Amino acid sequence: MKKDLLKLLDLTGEEIIKILDVADDLKSEWKAGKKHDFPAGKTLVMIFEKNSTRTRVSFETGISQLGGHGIFLSSADSQLGRGEPIEDTARVLSRYCDCIMIRTYGQSEIEKLAQYATVPVINGLTDFAHPCQVLADLMTIREHKGKLKGLNACYIGDGNNMANSIIVGCLKVGMNVSAACPDGYHPDAKVLAFAKMAPGAKFELTNDPMQAAKNADVIFTDVWASMGQEDEAEKRKAAFDGYQLNDAIMAIANPGCMVQHCLPAHRGEEITAEVFEAHADEIFDEAENRLHAQKAVMCLLMREK
């Protein structure tokens, strides 16, 4: 695996499967009460410029379960919040810790952090990508379906960081992908360019959620207004009218179709309460698997450091 996990575009399908295999092993070990085979005393610095529940708790718990230590830094806690260049922060933290996780806005910031850091850097979320979440999603789908290759994935909603990572991750492991997004809210152009050229799997981008959901084995959705877009909430509600995951959508999917939501969910907007609760076990398996998938990433990156 490469030095960092910045976006799924950087990984091969084989590397993604390797992470999932390690995650499965770590989950089995933990459930069986076995101690992980990982060097003790590793330190993970976690930089948060965006609020978090799952990312912080899963990473902090994960490094603890591996026998290491997590340090939380908000913008207010660090000199980044006072204007220190991220390249200087990268070089300082590299002298103190074994890995850096950052949850921030611009993808360019994390790319610069990784450029100057001499320890692995993990993307906990940017406006462009959310690789750790999609690794957990793929882990969950494989647990429930027994495979990934050949399954039909559908994404309905905003062409945001989740859409970008879902499209890339699913295609790289051999899943077919249909995405339904309104005009003006399409996934990133780099992702669409990759999707058109991805070998061995089919990709479709449409404005019609019903078309995208037909014959789906798993349907993804996400909030219509992400963090930092709160002032667009009303405009987005209008734009995403008809892009709700509801009983009508589920009725045209394949029998046994899964639902995945990265959370938090806005019931009554992107997903109905009825569909959410009917698939709650899958959704909260997905949330739990953030812990195991991220432990796998940390193991692979820090062992090879």
Any domain includes 1:
no
Any domain includes 3:
no
Any domain includes 2:
no
**Radius of gyration over alpha carbons of the chain, in Å?**
19
Annotated catalytic residue within 290, 292, 294, 299: 290
170 lies in the same domain as 32: no
146 lies in the same domain as 122: no
Any domain includes 113:
yes
Is 158 annotated in the active site?
A: no
Is 133 annotated in the active site?
A: yes
135 lies in the same domain as 277: yes
Q: How far apart are CA 30 and CA 77, in angstroms?
A: 32
Annotated catalytic residue within 158, 262, 292, 294: 262
Any domain includes 38:
yes
Annotated catalytic residue within 56, 132, 133, 154: 133
Instruction: Count structural domains, the chain.
Output: 2
pTM for the predicted model, two decimal places:
0.96
Annotated catalytic residue within 4, 127, 158, 222: 222
> The CATH number of the domain where 195 resides is what?
3.40.50.1370
Comparing CA positions, the residue from 206, 150, 143 lying closest to residue 178 is 206
pLDDT digits (tens, 9 = 90+) for 9-37: 999 999 999 999 999 999 999 999 999 99
Annotated catalytic residue within 56, 130, 236, 292: 130
Is 217 annotated in the active site?
A: no
95 lies in the same domain as 165: no
Any domain includes 193:
yes
Any domain includes 77:
yes
pLDDT confidence band for 234 (50 / 70 / 90): confident
Is 10 annotated in the active site?
A: no
Mean pLDDT to the nearest integer, 134-149: 98
Is 97 annotated in the active site?
A: no
pLDDT confidence band for 82 (50 / 70 / 90): confident
Q: How deeply is 110 buried, as exposed, middle or buried, from its count of CB atoms within 10 A (0-12, 13-18, 19+)? A: buried
- Residues 258 and 286: beta-carbon distance below 8 Å: no
123 lies in the same domain as 142: no
pLDDT confidence band for 88 (50 / 70 / 90): very high
266 lies in the same domain as 119: no
119 lies in the same domain as 160: no
pLDDT digits (tens, 9 = 90+) for 267-292: 999 999 999 999 999 999 999 999 99
Residue-averaged pLDDT of the chain: 95
Any domain includes 86:
yes
144 lies in the same domain as 109: no
Annotated catalytic residue within 54, 56, 103, 292: 103
DSSP 304: -
| Domain coverage including residue 50 | 8-130+290-303
Is 222 annotated in the active site?
A: yes
Element (H, E) at 101: strand 99-103
pLDDT at 305 over 90: no
Q: Which residue has the tokens 């027994």?
A: 146
